[in-house]
Amino acid sequence: MKRLLPLVAAAALLAVPAASARPAAPPTLKPGALTVALNPPAVGFQVGTLRGNTVVNPTGFEIDLARDIAAKLGIPAAKISWINVPFDTLFRPGAKPFDFAFEEATITAARSRVVDFSAPYFNANQGVLLSKTATAPKSLADLKKMSICAQSATTGLDYVQHKLQAPSSSVHIYTSTSAAFTALQVGRCDVFVMDVPIVASQKKTKPSAYGAVAGQIVTNEQYGAVLAKGSKLTPDVSAAIKALTTDGTIAKLQKKWFNIDVSKIPVLK
Amino acid sequence: MHRFLHAFVDPFAFRQALPDVWSGFLINVHMMLIAEALVLVLALLIAIVRGLPGRGAKPLRGLAIAYTDFFRGTPLTIVAYVCILGLPGLGYPFLKNASSEALGVVALTIVYTAYVTEVYRAGIESVHGSQRMAARSLGLTYMQALRYVVLPQAIRRVVPPLLNDFIGLQKDTAIIGAIGVTEAAAQATNYANSYFNYTGYFVAAVFFVYLTIPLARFTDNLIRQRELRERAAGI
Amino acid sequence: MSENGAQFVSVRGVTKRFGDLEVLKHVDLEVAKHGVVSLIGASGSGKSTLLRCINLLERVDEGEIVVDGQRLTGEKVDVNAVRRKIGIVFQAYNLFPHMTVVQNVMLGPRKVRGLPRDRCESIARELLQRIGLEAKAREYPDRLSGGQQQRVAIARALAMEPDLMLLDEITSALDPQLVAEVLQLVRELTEVGMTMILATHEMSFAREVSDVICFLDGGVICEQGPPEQIFSDPREPRTREFLARVIEAGRM
């Protein structure tokens, strides 16, 4: 009896870890918590109050998606911190103060050299939003002759400068989306070239501030979450997004936040 | 170290970024020249108003003080946003049609006039009261004394701080780049965002330094000459 | 010595305060046309203040000042017009350093009297010649000695063709060897009949050129009278005390 007890105790001790084996916590900055970078406002995608570096009470498509991803990673929603990271600093090489960033960032080869992207979670083209007084361009050639607002470091600006090749004197660059929208509203330029869902949502929210969404430019962009290059979290996030795409969650979120029929917007050629 | 040099001072990137950053820099120079000319004149007017004697001038003096206090305390960035994005929204056609560069010049002028007004004022106050006393004793009016006796001396004295403020203005034209004017710094940022290399900033810095160093040396020289002259005159 | 009995300058009951300090207390003074009055007294006795009240650089608190029949004190006085007729020269010369000597002298005639440029220049050059400094016309003041600067300052005041000259201790800041040339110029002015009030420490000179000597003490004219009387036989004890100290210091 006396010799059996230690054996049983030892067996019991060995059994406990095996029974409670579960997947290791994901390799986030703070174990058990998730730091998500945002850059509001982008109507439909994310809006929230900025307090210092943090975003308070964020809501939007990307917020809901981030919460779903967190759930898949085994992190409770209460443990998500939301920080504000300006868009044009997202693609600087180096360590990031966040686990992943949701800022409607298009996956490009050039950017992929300096950051990691997750699997895509949204498809978009570029949209052309008119100011109240501008006339709609009927073609890309027309667009090239107009004065264009764009945001620094975006694929929209990249398109305007390198594909459309608009003369640089007619391109007005702003460092934030809101500044660019304001510029359009007060007539600093005729059009704002920016992702369709962003301009369409903004137009829906403030219809009297701008003209129509005059057209879209087929660029077949895909948004991905941005992570530090070589981040260990990338496969986990990508897997989560793929799962949420397959089970229809993402489609449902898109319908919830963006009831916009993109097919109605004429394609500019 | 090698990575640092490649990221910030790469020779290939230098040549690639040069033309765009240069064309942007011409905008900086343009803004700076116009703003400086306006500031020199406006600040002198406000400094004179600031010093007007008599009870009747009190509201004017108060306005001048309020203006300089407010705009010396407000960051240029804020004033620039208000001018470039706010003013056109007021609805006046001449504001609506004004270019962002012109509105940027307005912002620079408003802020720097406040600084330079104080420089002029210090210069005017540094002219010994006996000079004004001697001028008034000849029968010159307040304005005549100011114009022929006080201001010529005051302005000569404040040339160095004036030049210093202008060096500041030259550099601050880069702030307008954040708000739709594609000057040198904005071009450099554009280059950095497209090619993930920061050499564009180095190019911009070279241009700015090329412009401001001669001015800084000239200012130092003026200061030194004045000191020598004053020492010789035994003041 | 009064000539027609009419007093050219009349100072009556003038009181001047700086804050709580009464610098001039009920001062009465009369100067005849072509007369020369010297104010003597210790520093702080109010001599400079009195002179500056007469050309309205200071406003009197009480009393009145009349020059050439015109009241200077009170409201609604055209200060600039008054100052055109009264010249003043200061202890510190106060030449305008950014202008040449001739420009200094020309400024008044040009901008105040509104005369054409060449007329101003000839007036200036004539004055400079009279004081023996024509050679320095195009120099800047900092190249002149103190005595030369002071003489230019006198010329600058004379260019306005004033009726009255006020000289506020104009030799006190000069090196002793430069004093004589300035005093000579003043002497010449008295000889051509310029009405003058001078505040001075130069007792011998005052004795020589003045019609009346006023001794100021603590903002009050303690004693006044002709030079012979004041210097040889002062009546007031404070006058005597002051003169005794002056003699002791070897300044007479």
Report yes or no: B23 at the A interface, CB cutoff 8 Å: yes
Give the list of residues 6+ apart from residue A89 with CB closer than 8 angstroms, or none: none
Residue C122 has pLDDT above 60, yes or no: yes
> In terms of domains, do A113 and A164 share one?
no
Inter-chain contact A152–B23, Cβ cutoff 8 Å? no
A13 band by pLDDT with thresholds 50, 70 and 90: low
> Is A140 within 8 Å of A165 (Cβ atoms)?
no
Q: What is the mean pLDDT of residues A32-37?
A: 95
Q: Which of B81, B94, B95, B190 is the best substitution to test chain A (most A C-beta atoms within 10 A)? A: B190
Residue C186 has pLDDT above 70, yes or no: yes
Q: Which of A174, A181, A226 is the best substitution to test chain B (most B C-beta atoms within 10 A)? A: A174
> Is A180 within 8 Å of A174 (Cβ atoms)?
yes
A19 is a domain residue: no
SS3 annotation, A91-144: CCCCCCCCCEECCCCECCHHHHCCEEECCCCEEEEEEEEECCCCCCCCCHHHHH
Q: What is the mean pLDDT of residues A128-144?
A: 94
Last residue of a domain, one of A220, A236, A255: A220
Give the chains touching A; criterion: ≥3 Cβ pairs < 8 Å.
Answer: B
Indicate the residue of B133, B149, B153 with minimum beta-carbon distance to C57.
B133
Report yes or no: B4 at the A interface, CB cutoff 8 Å: no
Q: What is the mean pLDDT of residues B35-48?
A: 96
Hey, what are C85's tokens? 């007729």
Query: What total of structural domains would you count in chain A?
Result: 2
Beta bridge partner(s), residue A150: A173
Give the list of residues 6+ apart from residue B16 with CB closer than 8 angstroms, or none: B191, B195
Q: How far apart are CA A138 and CA B138, in angstroms?
A: 76
Interface pTM, i.e. ipTM: 0.90
> What is the domain-level CATH number for residue A256?
3.40.190.10
A4 band by pLDDT with thresholds 50, 70 and 90: low
Inter-chain contact C111–B148, Cβ cutoff 8 Å? yes
> Is A171 within 8 Å of A148 (Cβ atoms)?
yes
> What is the domain-level CATH number for residue C39?
3.40.50.300
Say which residue the tokens 């918590």 belong to: A33
Q: What is the mean pLDDT of residues B22-51?
A: 95
B74-100 pLDDT, tens per residue?
999 999 999 999 999 888 888 888 999
The 8-class DSSP code of residue C8 comes to E
Report yes or no: B178 at the A interface, CB cutoff 8 Å: yes
Beta bridge partner(s), residue C38: C198, C213
Residue in chain B closest to A90 (alpha carbons) equals B193
The residue among B31, B25, B36 whose CA lies nearest residue B208 is B25
Q: Read off the amino acid at residue A82.
A: W
> In terms of domains, do A134 and A91 share one?
no
Inter-chain contact A113–B196, Cβ cutoff 8 Å? yes
**What are the φ/ψ torsions at residue B12 (nearest 5 degrees)?**
-65, -45
Indicate the residue of A91, A152, A186 with minimum beta-carbon distance to B189.
A152
Q: What is the mean pLDDT of residues C170-185?
A: 92
Give the number of other CB atoms < 10 A from CB of residue B94: 9
Query: How many angstroms away from the CA of B69 is the closest CA of chain A?
Result: 27
Task: Give the pLDDT score at A2.
Answer: 58
Q: What is the largest CA-CA distance in chain B?
A: 72
B143-198 pLDDT, tens per residue?
999 999 999 999 988 988 998 899 999 999 999 998 999 999 999 999 998 888 99
Query: What total of structural domains would you count in chain C?
Result: 1
Residue B129 has pLDDT above 60, yes or no: yes
Is the domain defined by B2-232 classed in CATH 1.10.1060.10? Answer: no
SS3 annotation, B126-149: HCCHHHHHHHHHCCCCHHHHHHHH
A19 band by pLDDT with thresholds 50, 70 and 90: very low
Contacts of C124 in chain B (CB under 8 A): none
The domain spans of chain B are 2-232
Hey, what are A255's tokens? 């319908």
Residue A21 has pLDDT above 60, yes or no: no
Q: What is the mean pLDDT of residues C133-157?
A: 94
Inter-chain contact B196–A188, Cβ cutoff 8 Å? no
What is the helix (H) or strand (E) element at residue A173, kind and residue range?
A: strand A171-174
The residue among A53, A211, A193 whose CA lies nearest residue A126 is A193
> Is B32 within 8 Å of B104 (Cβ atoms)?
no
Inter-chain contact A183–B180, Cβ cutoff 8 Å? yes
Hey, what are C160's tokens? 């306005």
> In terms of domains, do A170 and A84 share one?
no
User: What residues make up the domain containing A132?
Assistant: 124-220
User: What residues make up the domain containing C70?
Assistant: 7-248
Query: How many angstroms away from the CA of B119 is the closest CA of chain A?
Result: 34
Residue B207 has pLDDT above 50, yes or no: yes
Task: Give the pLDDT score at B231.
Answer: 67
